[in-house]
Amino acid sequence: MKYLGIDPIKPKIAVFDFTSCEGCELQLANKEDTLAGFLNAVEIVTFREISSAASDDYDIAFIEGAISRSDEITRLMDIRKKAKVLVALGSCACFGGVNRMKNAYDLNQANREVYGKIAKETLPVRSVKEIVPVDLEIHGCPVSKAEVERIVQHLVWDIPYTQPVYPVCFECKQRYATCSFDLGQLCLGPITRGGCGAPCPVGGLSCWGCRGPSEDPNYEEFFRIANEYGYGDDEIEERLNFFGGFEGVR
């Protein structure tokens, strides 16, 4: 579609999946009310979930999933060489996600117990940025399609975009949600990066921190409040480790 008689320059987009459930990729193909406009703004050359076409000629690479095998490392490094911009898509790509919990175990022993004599290759889970430079991160499990669209607008038309620095609690208050702590649920909202619109607390499920830490989180105060509500250190640590974004905090 021309604008003022000029053919717009559409960046070539490629979407790749690694160790993940591919739920973030589904978000890109959802939200039908904006899908046509989204697809019209870019040229998707590789995206296995929506097309069998594949090309090595792309400008922007979206990476979903964590890195957990040597062949994934090789593949990711090759993608990084070809992409002008590389975007980590979702919690697994940004932090290692739920997959990262396996790093707490003896992988060789677990491999033998699960697969017996036909063990599978496996490595400690790492995020994308632990392997190659990342230009942008889109947090969440799954990502917010609206946030992806804002970032694509930023990449395509240079529309200003900044990552939210406020915590999820801010958005809970905007949406008049009752505090999860007052509902008897441990919640990471006070220290988790906002931008999702707080769908979990609004829907009655406390925040599990899928978007990672907010800017300059006050961990000391959060731990004090959680302890005050009766949550022990082990329970708090288990919640912090669930998506990998708070690794090393405690």
Q: Tell me the pLDDT tens digit for each residue of 79-127.
A: 999 999 999 999 999 999 999 999 999 998 988 999 998 989 999 999 9
Neighbour-count burial of 79, counting CB atoms closer than 10 A to its CB (0-12 exposed, 13-18 middle, 19+ buried): buried
Statement: residue 4 has pLDDT above 90: no
Two structure tokens written together for 222: 């959060």
Q: Which stretch of DSSP H or E encloses residue 74?
A: helix 70-82
Dmax (CA) of the chain:
65
Overall size of the chain counted in residues: 250
**For 205-247, what is each residue's pLDDT tens digit?**
999 999 999 999 999 999 999 999 999 999 999 999 999 999 9
Residue 249's pLDDT is what?
Answer: 86
Instruction: For 180-207, give the DSSP string.
Output: TGGGT----TTTBB--S--HHHHTT---
List of domains in the chain: 12-157 (3.40.50.700), 168-240 (no CATH)
**For 44-67, what is each residue's pLDDT tens digit?**
999 998 889 899 999 999 999 999
Q: At how many degrees (to 10) do helices 233-240 and 219-228 cross? A: 130
Nearest to residue 245, comparing CAs of 128, 91, 103, 121? 91
Tell me phi and psi for residue 144, to 5 degrees.
-85, 125
Neighbour-count burial of 231, counting CB atoms closer than 10 A to its CB (0-12 exposed, 13-18 middle, 19+ buried): middle
**For 13-41, what is each residue's pLDDT tens digit?**
999 999 999 999 998 887 677 777 777 88
**For 120-172, what is each residue's pLDDT tens digit?**
999 999 999 999 999 999 999 999 888 888 888 888 888 898 888 899 999 99
Residue 28's pLDDT is what?
Answer: 84
Residue 6's pLDDT is what?
Answer: 56
